[in-house]
Structure 1
């Protein structure tokens, strides 16, 4: 498989995957302007968790490439019209806008951003799977795949166009505000249902893992701590979680991974890749309860470990609202069994 760093060097490779903008939301939610199509320079910087200087410097070095993928600067009457249509309140004489394709282009050029690196890794993983997975020519398979693509397209339209439109209307409407909020809630409910349906189809159509639990865990045991965090993040995405970001390391505030479930609940995850003979203790869980529930205000807290939990640790987890995902559950989750608490 191609290393993610290749995207930094090859424009032709970047051009070949520029349409896969859905990868952005699989790594982290991209907030859009009320028009549901564009973001500002500041919003791009916030998405990639870098300073404005990093983005403006990138624009300076790669302006023509970014313009070809949808970057533009509005001025004069064009800017005035855009402000009126989008509801933006700004006195600036110019406004730089990025399309989703342009944001993806930035991800393939930005070196000093962990979020950008995750986008590149995920992008090439998807491209590799698309090119190597066997083609099923059966009529039934084609029909299911077509239905799934339609569902995904509808979900994208609802989430990126219809919901932002409701947001803009709600902000400017007084008389019908309550009715608009109710309509937006209904649209979001449909969007979540379609997303869950799409995930179920992917699991049904996807290849089943033929490894035994012992073989699966042997592979997991061979991972480094960082690799295990990335592995758990991917399992979360397979269960429909969005905005999944690996934060492990210094400054993680006691939580290795954050994200949201398919229905929008905040998720906080602690990962421990310990030897099978060790155990997670009550003090380990107590620290995580404080970090997950107080610092991160999570609604779903997962303590994922490659070893057992002590009896007292399980009691603390239950009392603190933490789901203890022990070694056997990790094996079952890896084999395609969805984690119930995420549904």
Structure 2
């Protein structure tokens, strides 16, 4: 194989990409043996449950690489260095008080330190402030890496955000561990391209991003450029991972799946498929004349029908990422369509994400039933909606 000519003088950035390129071209992609197109089965076929994550450090360690889950549940704000957060920022992310995080750190300090928690003081703190651009007059500062924040999510019991992170981890573990073993057609679909994508994702996450982190810590002149480049690499890594996971979900959906995969399956749906999923739930709960009409000419609603009691029903469906929000203007628009254009008795706004407080207030004032992510999970798992009974 021909080798690429290398420049005589390489910048920090050049060295990062040349090294990553050499990994990919010199054995980074595993070879397929003749007649063995499928990936080997994952080790440990027993499913991880939420209580096990809370109790077992070894199980927590096994999923600590999945830090992308944090931003899927809720956007995590970082310090100017793009790598760390403070105790207050962790508390804000999980919606708990400072003392809850401090108490958790006290109980699990050794584990958290192994995953990036640090208490900075003296020269170490001054150096960190200079490198990160942080403006603070405190004599000590506790900082958490993204890995440490994920560790906190698997330890923190009294936080809905932490629970959602654990559920997302369980969803991803379920999808990674449960692959049909008696379907040779499915095994053959794991192509060379799929395996190359997986290997590139692995190299980006395990090698290129950590190298950027190290360079950012030591470079002053090109710091902003390196942070921007690292963010670009992380976006590519996330998109490759999301693409691969979405394909797995779409190709591996099974009717007998436990409820742990419910939200992951819905997150993988496109808008039209999500609308039909909601229509099936309406049918299940006794609604009749259910019609999916999303698209042009739908007059502002996606589904119409009648409840079991014969009331006129309209539904708006939004399949958004879980870290986004339904805002008040979107609810106001639906109010007009539901109440004025359709004269609905029952109006549902169903979304795979949360609603802002203002949106919830408008919905309550105008008689709109909000089905947010948590309620949608329960509804999909078999709990009937009270408004449909």
Normalising by structure 1, we get a TM-score of: 0.54
Is 1:313 the counterpart of 2:342? The answer is yes
Distance in 1 between the 2:264 and 2:332 partners? 14
RMSD (Å), alpha carbons: 5.1
* Unaligned segments of structure 2, at least 5 residues: 1-46, 272-301, 318-324, 345-350, 352-375, 381-389
Normalising by structure 2, we get a TM-score of: 0.48
CA deviations on 1:128-187 (whole Å, 9 max, x unpaired) are 2212225876596232243256368769989xx79xx9xxx9xx99xxxxxx9xx97x99
Is 1:76 the counterpart of 2:122? The answer is yes
Q: Write out aligned runs for 1:161-180 (5 A).
A: none
* Unaligned segments of structure 1, at least 5 residues: 174-179, 241-269, 286-290, 304-308, 316-321, 323-329, 335-343
Aligned to 1:95: 141
Aligned to 1:280: 313
CA deviations on 1:224-256 (whole Å, 9 max, x unpaired) are xxx9xx95686246559xxxxxxxxxxxxxxxx
Distance 1:124 1:147, change over 3 A: same
Aligned to 1:245: none
Aligned to 1:8: 54
- Bigger Rg over Cα: 2
Whether the aligned pair in 2 keeps the contact of 1:281 and 1:310 (CA below 8 Å) is no
Q: Write out aligned runs for 1:246-265 (5 A).
A: none
Whether the aligned pair in 2 keeps the contact of 1:38 and 1:99 (CA below 8 Å) is yes
**Aligned with 2:108 (options 59, 62, 82):** 62
Distance 1:73 1:210, change over 3 A: closer
Q: Write out aligned runs for 1:140-159 (5 A).
A: 141-147=191-197, 150=200
Whether the aligned pair in 2 keeps the contact of 1:21 and 1:100 (CA below 8 Å) is yes
**Aligned with 1:46 (options 88, 92, 100):** 92
What SS does the corresponding residue of 2:342 show, helix, strand or coil?
helix
Distance in 1 between the 2:241 and 2:174 partners? 21
Aligned to 1:339: none
Distance in 2 between the 1:147 and 1:17 partners? 20
The alpha-carbon deviation at position 5 of structure 1 amounts to: 2.1
Distance 1:235 1:94, change over 3 A: same
Whether the aligned pair in 1 keeps the contact of 2:172 and 2:264 (CA below 8 Å) is no
Matched positions, count: 243
**Aligned with 1:21 (options 64, 67, 73):** 67
